[in-house]
Amino acid sequence: MGPLEGVKVVEFAGIGPAPIVGMLLADLGAKVVLIERKVMNSNAATVDPAAMGKAALFKRGKQSITLNLSQSNDVEAALSLVADSDVLVEGFRPGVMERLGIGPEVCLQKNPKLIYGRMTGWGQTGPLAPSAGHDLNFSAITGALFYGSLPGDIPFPTPTLQGDVGGGSMSLALGILSALFHVNKTGKGQVVDAAISDGVIYNMMLLASLREQGVINDGKRNDFFSGAAPWCSTYRCADDRFVTVQALEPKFYQELISICGFGDDQDFTDQYDSSCWEAAKKKMSAFFGSRTQAECCSILEGTDACFAPVLNLAEAANYPHNQARESFICIDGVLQPAPAPKFSLTKQVVGRIPTLGEHNEDVLGPLGLYYKSKLSD
């Protein structure tokens, strides 16, 4: 099994990045009990996870139970599970868990070794903490969104990656694993307050370093990360597909221009002479624009020119490198990302997606709580 075998997690169902955290822990071998609502949430922005069926990929490998947390019997059942767990994961607005009677103070009193993981957009404190928001909003105040488009274009990131998953899920997962290491040394649990906005800002460390060096600027955005440089951009092919090049280092740049036939062209002589970039980029655009994506791949793929085609998810799953790495898996006919990273010793086994309340008796029965939870139906 995975490296987290033996770790017990209780997750309170929600949307956004918190369910991804539970999935990450389950993929790593933890036993994750997912507490879901007995009825669908009519206020959800998207389809309720309970009704998503095989599309609820973030539920894979978890055990699903249903509780009505407005009922005292079911709150008691939830607290009994918490008392016997190592980690709690929740993604509600600040104050919701406290109002339900399952806040950090109550839970840590019952289980002093508990890691109480909290996932929100703005964090538990601060002026925006009680406000609603989503991935795009949380990224907007961090500075990251400003740099996420070409000059003059409307900033818009790849959906969910920058904020929800990159800034949120990964941040809380790292916090939980760090807190588990700490509790094993000290016997003391703690609250992990993960804000998507904080996580996105933390992920900007390299960008902040480049900005300090003057490589990236806040003004006209004519730096090479803005797409202005011919050797760091995305190009349209003859078949309206796209390819990318990012040959930052001089030796890789030389390989790129040599393969493309510009090795002796004066516009390509000095890689970092921005006065030549416009002319050089027009020539590079013509090179790629006169060839299909497949033809470009046949010329540049596998070289040190720092080249790759732009693929959709289905194409990515069939891409030879991804297939060799087994980066995608198919469970019950549903294509989905495989766990990452890969471990040399602890083999990860991805579990299937449970049905709603599938494990009520298995999870609640041994604790003597199955009958009590049914009284709340």
| Residues acting as catalytic residues | 134, 164
Q: Is the CB of residue 30 less than 8 Å from the CB of residue 7? A: yes
Separation in Å, CA 60 to CA 77, 352, 362, 375: 23, 5, 17, 28
Residues written for the chain = 377
Of 105, 22, 311, the C-alpha closest to 323 is: 311
Q: Which residues pair with 9 in a beta bridge?
A: 32, 87
Q: Are strands 8-12 and 87-90 parallel, antiparallel or unpaired?
A: parallel
- Whole-number Å distance between alpha carbons of 110 and 80: 9
- Whole-number Å distance between alpha carbons of 328 and 177: 25
- Whole-number Å distance between alpha carbons of 60 and 353: 4
Element (DSSP H or E) covering residue 325: helix 320-325
Long-range Cβ pairs for the range 359-362 (8 Å, 24+): 359/33, 359/63, 359/64, 359/65, 360/65, 360/66, 362/63
331 Cβ neighbours under 8 A, 6+ residues apart: 60, 350, 352, 353
- 33: which DSSP letter? E
